[in-house]
Amino acid sequence: MSEGYERGAFSRVKRSLLEHYRIIHSHPLGRIGFWVVTVFVIVAVFAPWLAPHDPWVMQYDSEGNFASLRTPSWAYPVGTTHLGYDLFSQLILATRTTLLIGAVSGFISILIGANVGLVAGYYGGKIDEVLMRLTDILYGMPFLPFIIILIALFGRKLEFVILAIILIIWRTSARVIRAQTIAIKQRQFITAAKARGCSNLRIIYRHILPNVLPLLLLYAAFNIAWSIITEASASFLGFGDGNTISWGGMLYELWLSGKTRVAWWWFAAPSLCIVTLVTSLVFVSRAYEEVANPRLRKR
């Protein structure tokens, strides 16, 4: 009976994921967002092989001239920096860093938020009170300044940047999942599960979790987008990992160079990547919103 139940739970999750995939592809913006994000992921995975030059090696043209502040051309598709670095190579490798930060921060934060919301909503009482007061404290803290302070305290290494983002970004998903859990635990199938002697953990993770999965996927996309924006903002202000390349870090290097008004291509390339990826994630989350809110499908 236990194995049959496990297979049944896995089957329900699988059907739910397939339904979400179909809804994304039936939603025009969701389909565009999905494939754009897929392209960025492919670039991130194969970044070392796609980058035509070493991003930290000064470039010289065929005539031996120093390739400083070159505008976009066949040789340098995104131009070069004032030090002659190839921006196209930096952009490709920065895609890996930015997506790594976004994905790790987004998924771990949604994991924390989901567990906090499920536990608080299901058990209620003092457990709910303590967990929700903790989220209230986080809501009272200014988002970007708090993360910058954490990075300044922990250090500017990549893992500390990710940790700082995770520590605060889980708060929204926790509140939303808690509210959904409170509504779901009143339903008859939860009462029936209790009557069969199912443990609280089994009810939470085998009965309630599959029903809040659409919301989790919706806020996972939002959290990844917010993580990318946050990392870019922190790096632009000089609080990123100086040993890695990110889109925000490229903008910070531009500001340090004093060439902001001259090298428009240096500003445009990472900025367009940030806007495109974040917008695509919002498109995907908008499609997932139709899963979480079936009334939107009728529009």
The pLDDT of residue 17: 66
> Consecutive sets of 10 residues in the chain, 299 residues long: mean pLDDT of each?
52 67 77 93 95 90 84 92 93 94 93 95 92 90 84 85 89 92 89 87 89 84 92 90 90 92 93 96 81 57
The pLDDT of residue 1: 42
The pLDDT of residue 118: 95
Domain count, the chain: 1
Burial classification of residue 7, based on how many CB atoms lie within 10 Å of its CB (0-12 exposed, 13-18 middle, 19 or more buried)? exposed
CA distance 287 to 149: 35
Residues 6+ apart with CB under 8 A from 14: none
The pLDDT of residue 8: 57
CA distance 122 to 50: 48
CATH number at residue 96: 1.10.3720.10
The pLDDT of residue 155: 82
Which pTM was predicted? 0.85
Tell me which residue range forms the domain holding 47: 2-298
- How many residues belong to the chain? 299
The pLDDT of residue 291: 59
CA distance 291 to 289: 5
Q: In whole angstroms, how far apart are CA 43 and each of 64, 85, 249, 273? A: 30, 20, 18, 12
The pLDDT of residue 5: 47
Handedness of CA 257, 259, 263, 267 (dihedral sign): positive
Q: What is the largest CA-CA distance in the chain?
A: 82
Handedness of CA 200, 13, 186, 108 (dihedral sign): positive
- What is the b/e burial string over 54-93, where b = at least 16 CB atoms within 10 angstroms of the residue's CB? ebeeebeeeeeeebebbebeebbebbbbbebbbbbbbbbb
The pLDDT of residue 65: 83
The pLDDT of residue 228: 94
The pLDDT of residue 158: 86
Directed axis angle between helix 87-123 and helix 125-139, to 10°?
A: 150
The pLDDT of residue 142: 82
